[in-house]
Structure 1
Amino acid sequence: MANLMYQGSAPVFTHHLKNLSAILKLAAKDAKTRGIAPEVLLNARLAPDMLPLAAQVMIATDHAKGCCARLAGQPSPVFADTESTFAELEARIRKTLAFIRTIKPAEYADSETRDITLTLPFGELYFKGADYLHGWVLPNFYFHYTTAYDILRHNGLAVGKREYLGVVPGMEMNAAAARAMGVKPQAAKKAVKKAARKKASK
């Protein structure tokens, strides 16, 4: 179970935070091309009572680093939450990814039964590790990642599910699928060869 807890957290956050970083890079470039002030997008919301893009990115990183830290029984790094540019948000994502890499898979051992306490402005929440990961963190992480994507898509950024999902780790594909998904030729070639070898060995 320890390995499953690791596989269901650190690699998942890493993959999607890299996707989010790539989407933010596209957004910054697109804003420049279209003559849109970056702060317009960074402060954009889906609804008046929802948080803006910058906050959505901050909270997604908070869930990722906080989850990995708590599952491993470590303190989570605290960020200042002062990011106000695309470059600063990307730097925050890089810091989050760097922290996640410092925790070895073995440190997630027995984390499914670890007692987790979350102190929030409205009170405290108590979980076992598995419930915390699957019932609280992952839904929250995806909510804020998706909302960040949706804000940019709603404001005209030409991205789709391909950018949101990225190239899923462990996924194999044939040449047609690689072309449809826009995978780089080298990566597609490796994936096709690997799939062919796997098929031949059966």
Structure 2
Amino acid sequence: MLPNVLFIHPLRQMAMLLQKIQRHDAALLESALTAEQFPLWQQAQTAIGFSLRACCPLCDQVKPEFGQPKPGWADLEQQIHLSIEFLQSLKAEGFAGWQQKRIETTAGFAQLELTGEQFLYLYALPNFYFHYGMVYAIARAQQVPLTKGDFDGWHQYPEGFSFLR
């Protein structure tokens, strides 16, 4: 499976998750788990950005900038839409040899040099899912009624189901 394909399904799920969060309480864009963590909007924007940050160096493309400095709900929806369109436009031949490419990047203040395979599987995907997971966690902490299925698009549970009952 090519790297770009790995991000399309979860980006679509994030779009649906964000719509559900917005319908529940549009003010949650500014909510965070703790005062020193990014708010929901920035967690979402960072996850979206990681999909592009992951794929572009692996296929020798310049990372497009779709983000607003402080986006609203519609901006996040547009960023996801444009990111999916961009990822779908990437051709398989552009990824030739991606596993062995040398990728230089930063992780916080650390300078990294990784193979494409290490970069994707050990750095980019974990970071994408970390920030996407924070969106879910912030929403759940604010009592938005979400399930694991809202996050991954696969699990299904009846309304009101709880593992604790």
What RMSD in Å do the two structures reach over aligned CA positions?
1.9
Partner of 2:8: 14
Unaligned 5+ runs, structure 1: 32-37, 169-179, 183-202
What TM-score do you get using the length of structure 1 for normalisation? 0.72
What TM-score do you get using the length of structure 2 for normalisation? 0.87
* 1:152 is the counterpart of 2:146: no
Structure 2 matches for 1:1-202, cutoff 5 A? Answer: 4=1, 6=2, 9-31=3-25, 38=26, 40-119=27-106, 122=109, 124-167=111-154, 180=156
Partner of 1:185: none
Which structure is larger by alpha-carbon Rg, 1 or 2? Answer: 1
- Aligned with 2:99: secondary structure? helix
Larger helix fraction of residues: 1
Deviation string for 1:14-54 (max 9, x for gaps)?
Answer: 111111100111111112xxxxxx2x311111111111001
Aligned residue type for 2:65: V
**Change over 3 Å in CA distance of 1:19–1:56 after alignment to 2:** same
Which aligned segments of 4 or more residues in structure 1 are displaced greater than 4 angstroms?
none
**Identity value in percent:** 27
Distance, in Å, in 1 between the alignment partners of 2:87 and 2:134 is 23
- Aligned with 1:134: secondary structure? helix
Unaligned 5+ runs, structure 2: 159-165
Distance, in Å, in 2 between the alignment partners of 1:144 and 1:13 is 13
